[in-house]
Structure formats: structure tokens, C-alpha cells
Amino acid sequence: MDTNGKLFKKFLERENKISDQFSSENAKKQHAKGKLTARERIDLLFDKDTFEEIDAFVTPATITSKFGKITESYGDGVIVGHGKISGRLVFNYAQDFTVMGGSLGTVHAQKIAKIQKMALKMGAPIIGLIDSGGARIQEGIASLAGYATIFKNNINSSGVIPQISVIMGPAAGGAVYSPALTDFIFMTNKTSYMFVTGPSVVKEVLNEDVTDDELGGAMVHCKKSGVAQMMFEDEEQTLQGVRKLLTYMPSNNMENPPVILNPDEIPEFNEKVRDIVPDDPNKPYDVKEVINQIVDPNTFYETSENFAQNIVVGFARLNGNTIGIVANQPKVLAGTIDINSSIKGARFIRFCDAFNIPLLTLEDVPGFLPGVDQEHMGIIRNGAKMLYAYTEANVPKITVILRKSYGGAYIVMNSKNIGGDFNFAWPTAEIAVMGPDGAVAIIYKRDLAASDDPVTLKKELVKTYRDEIANPYIADEKGYIDEVIDPAITRKKLIVAFEALQNKHVATPAKKHGNIPL
Amino acid sequence: MITELKEKRQMRFGRNSKKELKKLIAVNTKRKKFEFTLPFSEHLNLNGKESEVLIKEDEKHGTYLLWKNKKYPVEVIYKNQNRYEILLNGISYIYTVETPTSYKRMRFLASKSESKKNENLEAPMPGKIVEILTEEGRDVRAGEPLLILEAMKMQNEIQAPISGHIKKIYIKQGQSVLKDDLMVEIHVGK
């Protein structure tokens, strides 16, 4: 034992020192802000006792300048390692705000870069828990170079392994671009914020008074800017949300998503679905009700819930298999496609395509959002993003037209001719170049003007238009729709159809990469 | 020495995870809390008295609570993250489900005096007011529908952006509004 004692003396000393560093005093400081410590977060994120830390004892780089000083500490303000989430390998880095404000120095950056490279090599997801004051000023250019390496690794891993950023404190300046390059950003309400320039600079340059939360809080990024996808009220729930999201995705782009079967038997014939879409075509409804009736119970996981609510995107399971859902939301802006919803949809579609997640489109779209605002902001180039993303995606793609399907928006929403594998329609579908009112006003402009009773004439013409053109049967007869189906059997139809598409393979012409209208 | 080493290893990670989750707390909008021990049992402590409450489901009644041999129909209307809206006996209740840690943080954040701003609800797009679903002086919660605006040939539900109470309604049923017209003023607090 004595010999052991000699050999392990230094080892124990270091262990004691590091546990002092993570003492309850530092934890109290974090708790006082309503935040958890980096270690507590890791404990919540990973399966019990599965996290393995590496590089715990690295020390910060020494600085030669006389400007500022560097606190002696182990780990340099970041914990990196790997563990298991739902039994699957996941890499992680967690910034520690209690060590020099979680600022990013050379060694800190090297640790993150190392774990990023490891995650890419092993083909496992990486999660970044971000709580950092930004670049370490004392270390100057070296910390900026550190950021650059992290960004480069982010881009190298993009589309190969899922990357998730969880903002749990400040992320300011250059630091915001690493999360921005990853697939999903989670934020905790009231204690996390992101901005390129902070309130003090805004005050200095523009003389505007704004708080951290108003400038770049979770609410702002999830509702207005669309920077972040998910917002939770609490850190514990945020981390639970991350765990849940990971169950829908494969570990890398060569694998398929995990299959999690629902223990209960789900009826194949569901009459409730028939009653959701109202008879009056001008009445809104919540498309999420349709989604929840079709997919496995309680499996719908919506992302970007509060941003561009006129399109609903999210993951769900159908007979245990992950699918990505894109659905127009008639409840908001009549379900029209505008700039934000196109960008939101396009990004989601590309994520699904990159990670072998089949796509289901539920369509009820009256068209693109009209207006000077939209045209001047570039609805043309922005609307093209979703069109490009849909067409480019070569995962199995199925569309169900629930109600309206008009004009350019019909084409964009995964129509047969841009590559929809199966296109179904409900009997309530209206597929045409434009809605009845618009069509009648254009084709019968003179007749209406000359008529003694334009209202009755218009009504008659609208009826004729619906009977002759705006229904699913014409498209069915011409082969643009594969089948008009009873809403009650939608679930069964989809399960069978996705099964048939399981081994879909598309050969694409060799190219470096396409030129998506960014 | 060996045991000390073992302890050190366990100290670093997994220290907190050894604590099993023992209870969940349901908090309603008025910050009243109800505690439930884990794993769930059918015996609940109601006003200091132990009682047995069963949740049952059948085709005739749907889901219902069985308490003292009486049936109370119950339905989960809305569920998002840890937020639940429950319809019991025709009355809707909103609860968030918290763990002891998240409950502490919730209380902590609530204790920090927040300077919330009043909200002026403006028309998101030009259209016609079809129906007003609220009235002046009423308390609303965020996400509650306030009025129906017909625009782009579609009826749109306009929801309350914040929780508060309706100070003033500037519009009438049947009136046309332009984009950014002031419709409803909502104040935080009384």
C-alpha cells in the first residue's frame, strides 16, 4: 500500500484540487443566476453514470503580455467528453461559466476542436452546451483562431453527424456563429441570449436602450429571428428536449434513424380524421390535429414551433419509423407560404434529406403571401429555397393534399412532377391554378361587368369551376395524383407507401454541389 | 487509499444522478402547487386526507376520474413540453409539471421582479373583423384567442401575445382594419 501511496500521491492531489475548483461555492454563483453548473448539466443530459471526461487537467495557455491575467484552473473553462444518450454514443462539450466566464482561450478551443474531430471520426452526434462570455481578450488573436477552427469543424461535420447547440447562458460576438452552423439550436428562456453585438455597443453606436433579453433572448430568437429552433422554460427541460430530439435521428448520415415501435395497437381505420377539415373552404383548422391523428400517438416533436407558424415542421414516428413532416397551417396567415416559412421549411427538408429521414407533406395552401412587403423582400428568391430543397431531396417523399392546393404553391409543396413519390389527395382537395373567386374574376371579367346580377352569376360560375376544375378527380384522372383516398385510412396508406419506398435509390449527376438560391 | 480513489472517481460525474427523482410538482396558473410522489400511486393526499383516485377509460364515457364512486370526465385538451391543459367537469385548468429543481428555478425567476411591458395588439394583415371573442376588463392568458380576422379569404384566429388583462378594445365586429391598426390593448397586472 505504501508504494501505492507514493505513486498515487500526486494523482490524489490533482483530484483534490479539481474537486475544490468545482466546489459548491462556484455552483452557488451559477444557481444564483437561475442556472446550473456545467457538471450538473452533463449529468442531466447523459444516461446515468455514462459520461467520460477527457482533458480534464489541461491548463490555460500562458500569456506574455502584461494586459490582464489568467486564473489558474484545470480544464480551461470547458468540459469535453463522451457518454450515452438513450444508449447511443454522443460527444459533448460544455462550457463552464465559473472559470473565467467560460471565455474561449487557445486551450479551451483546442479541447472543443479535438472532441469535434473525434465525433466526426466515430460518426456520432455532438452536443455543445454553450455558456461563455466570448473570446478571451487576454489571449488576443489566438482565441479568434480558435473560433475559426471550431467553425471549420462545424462545417466539415455538417450533414455527416447531427450537431446540436444548447445555449444556456450568454453567446456573444463571434461565438454565435458556431451554433448558427449547427443543425438545431436550443435555448432556455430568460437565462440565455445570443447576439453579434451586445446592448452596450448598441447603446454606444445607435443610442438605443435595450436589455440582453430584448436584444437576443430565447423569445426573440424563437419567434422573430428564427435563429433558434427550440425554447424551454428551464434548463432541465431543455436538456430533456435535446435527449428526445436525438431519438428521432440516426447517429450519422450512413445510418437509418432508430426504429421505436409503439407498444399499443393503433387502429388502421380512424373516422376522426374525416371531421377535422371544415366544409367551408374559408374556415381555418389546426393541421396539428391531423398530424396527431395520423402518426403514432404522442410522437410528434415540433421544431421551430413559434417561428413562421404558417408552416409546421417536425419529426414523428409512423409505425415506429421516423418521418419528417412539413405541413401548411391554415390557422396562421391562411397557410400561405411567405419568406420565413419557405426558409424554415427548406432548412428542415435539407436536414431530413441529409440524415435519411423520409418526408411527409400535408398540403393545404392557398398560394404565396401577396404584398409589396414580400415581393420587395425577395419572396421570389426565398420561395425558391423550398422548391430547391424539395426537388433536391432524394429521401422517400409523400404528399397528402388535404384541401387547397393552388398555383405555384402547389408545385412547391412536393408535387408529383418535382419528384413526389406518392401523391395522395383527400376528397376535399381543390387543385387548380387559382382559387374559384380569382379564376372567375379573370375568365369572366366582361360577362360579370355586363351582367345585371353579377352576384348570382358569380356564384354559379364558382360552382361550375369547383365541379369542373378545382377538385382532386381531374388530377387523379390525369395521373398527377396517385389516388384519392378516404381520410380515415390515411395512416394505413402512408405506412404501406413508405414501406414500398424503403429502398429508394436515386442516381444524381456528379457535381461539386448545387447552387441553392441562398 | 483505494476507497478514496474510488470516491474521487464517483465525485466527478454521476454525483447528482444518484439522487433518484422522488416527486413531481404540478403548478397551476395561480401558482398553487400539487405534489405527486414517484412512482405514481392511486392514493393522493387531498386537503390532508388520503383518498383513492383512479383514472379509467372506457368506450362509453371516454377517460374519467373515479373518486368516491363518482365519475368525473377528464380530457387533456392540449399538451406541449411540460404544459398541460386539462378539461375536468367542463372546466379547463392549465398546469405545468415541474421537478423539484425546475420548481426552485421557477420560483427563483418569479421572485426577480420583472418589468414586463404592456402590449398593443396590432392587425398582422389587412382584413375584416368577423368576431370579437373577448371583452374589456377580462383576464387573458398568452395564446388565448381574442378575435377572428378575415383576411386573404380565410378566417384567422388572433391570439393574445401575453398574459394580462384587456384594457381597451379599439375595434368593432364587421369593421375593416389595415395592417398595423391598433386593435386591442393588453395590460400586465391589474
Q: What is the ipTM of this complex?
A: 0.72
Q: Which residues, 6+ apart, have CB-to-CB distance to A193 below 8 Å?
A: A167, A170, A171, A172, A212, A213, A215, A216, A217, A218
> What is d(CA A112, CA A93) in angstroms, rounded to the nearest whole number?
6
Instruction: Note whether A457 and A418 are same-domain residues.
Output: no
Instruction: Note whether A275 and A132 are same-domain residues.
Output: no
On whether residue A517 sits in a domain, the answer given is no
Q: Which residues, 6+ apart, have CB-to-CB distance to B88 below 8 Å?
A: B65, B72, B73, B74
CB contact under 8 A, A34 and B17: no
Instruction: Note whether A320 and A207 are same-domain residues.
Output: no
Q: Domain total for chain A? A: 3
Query: Radius of gyration over alpha carbons of chain B, in Å?
Result: 24
What cell does B12 get? 466527478
> What is d(CA B49, CA B67) in angstroms, rounded to the nearest whole number?
13
Closest CA relative to residue B123, chosen from B179, B185, B184: B179
pLDDT of res. B94: 82
On whether residue B182 sits in a domain, the answer given is yes
- Smallest Cβ distance to B102: which of A42, A49, A237? A237
pLDDT of res. A1: 43
**Which residue, of B64, B90, B111, is where some domain finishes?**
B111
**Which residue, of B53, B79, B111, is where some domain finishes?**
B111
On whether residue B6 sits in a domain, the answer given is no
Instruction: Note whether A152 and A300 are same-domain residues.
Output: no
Q: Which residue type, as a one-letter code, is found at position B137?
A: G
Give me chain B's average pLDDT, please: 77
Mean pLDDT for the stretch of residues B164-182:
86
pLDDT of res. A6: 66
Instruction: Note whether A221 and A169 are same-domain residues.
Output: yes
Determine which of B17, B107, B148, B149 to mutate to test the interface with A (most A C-beta atoms within 10 Å).
Answer: B17
Instruction: Note whether B136 and B179 are same-domain residues.
Output: yes
Specify the CATH number for the domain of residue A417.
3.90.226.10
Instruction: Note whether B64 and B107 are same-domain residues.
Output: yes
> What is d(CA A58, CA A182) in angstroms, rounded to the nearest whole number?
27
> What is d(CA A215, CA A221) in angstroms, rounded to the nearest whole number?
9
What cell does A9 get? 500521491
Instruction: Note whether B32 and B98 are same-domain residues.
Output: yes
Instruction: Note whether B138 and B64 are same-domain residues.
Output: no
On whether residue A369 sits in a domain, the answer given is yes
**Which residue, of B76, B111, B146, is where some domain finishes?**
B111
pLDDT of res. A5: 58
Catalytically active residues of A, by annotation: 173-174, 408-409
Whether the CB-CB separation of A366 and A321 falls below 8 Å is answered with no
On whether residue B147 sits in a domain, the answer given is yes
- What are B137-166's pLDDT values in tens digits? 888 887 788 888 887 777 788 888 888 888
Instruction: Note whether A406 and A445 are same-domain residues.
Output: no
CB contact under 8 A, A43 and B15: yes
Long-range pairs for A212-216 at CB < 8 Å and ≥24 separation?
Answer: A212/A170
Instruction: Note whether A117 and A172 are same-domain residues.
Output: yes
Specify the CATH number for the domain of residue B178.
2.40.50.100
On whether residue A68 sits in a domain, the answer given is yes
Name the pTM for this structure.
0.88
Closest CA relative to residue A51, chosen from B101, B10, B3: B10
On whether residue B11 sits in a domain, the answer given is no
Instruction: Note whether B103 and B34 are same-domain residues.
Output: yes
Question: Residue B39: is the preceding peptide bond cis (ω within 30°)?
Answer: yes
Contacts A–B by Cβ distance under 8 A? 96
Instruction: Note whether B81 and B124 are same-domain residues.
Output: no
Instruction: Note whether B155 and B75 are same-domain residues.
Output: no
For residue B20, give Cα distances in angstroms to A178, A433, B130. Answer: 35, 60, 53
On whether residue A31 sits in a domain, the answer given is yes
Instruction: Note whether B26 and B107 are same-domain residues.
Output: yes
Segment (H or E) for A63: none
Q: Which domain does A463 fall in, by range? A: 436-469
Q: Mapping DSSP to helix (H, G, I), strand (E, B) and coil, where does residue A420 land?
A: coil
pLDDT of res. B40: 73
Q: What averages of pLDDT result for each successive group of 10 residues across chain A (518 residues)?
A: 63 81 82 88 90 88 73 86 94 92 91 96 96 86 92 96 95 90 94 90 89 90 94 91 95 94 84 90 90 92 93 95 96 91 96 96 92 91 96 96 92 93 94 87 88 88 88 89 94 95 91 92
On whether residue B1 sits in a domain, the answer given is no
Please report residues of A whose CB lies closer than 8 A to that of B11.
Answer: 19
Between residues B48 and A20, the one the model is more confident about = A20
Instruction: Note whether B80 and B152 are same-domain residues.
Output: no
Instruction: Note whether A210 and A323 are same-domain residues.
Output: no
Between residues B70 and A226, the one the model is more confident about = A226
Instruction: Note whether B48 and B99 are same-domain residues.
Output: yes
Instruction: Note whether A209 and A278 are same-domain residues.
Output: no
On whether residue B9 sits in a domain, the answer given is no
On whether residue A311 sits in a domain, the answer given is yes
> What is d(CA B101, CA B110) in angstroms, rounded to the nearest whole number?
14
Q: DSSP H helical segments within A444-486, as ranges?
A: 445-450, 454-468, 472-478
Q: Which domain does B75 fall in, by range? A: 19-111
On whether residue B125 sits in a domain, the answer given is yes
CA distance B49 to chain A (A): 32
Instruction: Note whether B146 and B183 are same-domain residues.
Output: yes
DSSP A469: T
Instruction: Note whether A458 and A481 are same-domain residues.
Output: no
Closest CA relative to residue A143, chosen from A113, A192, A105: A105
- Smallest Cβ distance to B12: which of A44, A53, A235? A53
CA distance B34 to chain A (A): 19
Instruction: Note whether B101 and B124 are same-domain residues.
Output: no
DSSP B10-64: HHHSSTTTTSPP-EEEEEETT--EEEEESS--SEEEETTEEEEEEEEEETTTEEE
The HSE-up count of residue A314 (CA atoms within 13 Å, CB side) is: 27
CA distance B50 to chain A (A): 31
Instruction: Note whether A151 and A292 are same-domain residues.
Output: no
**Which residue, of A199, A230, A246, is where some domain finishes?**
A246
pLDDT of res. A401: 96
On whether residue A515 sits in a domain, the answer given is no
pLDDT of res. B19: 57
- Binned at pLDDT 50, 70 and 90, residue B17 comes out as very low
Instruction: Note whether A428 and A440 are same-domain residues.
Output: no
Q: Chain B residue with minimal CA distance to A9?
A: B1
- Smallest Cβ distance to A8: which of B1, B14, B109? B1
Residue B18 has pLDDT above 60, yes or no: no
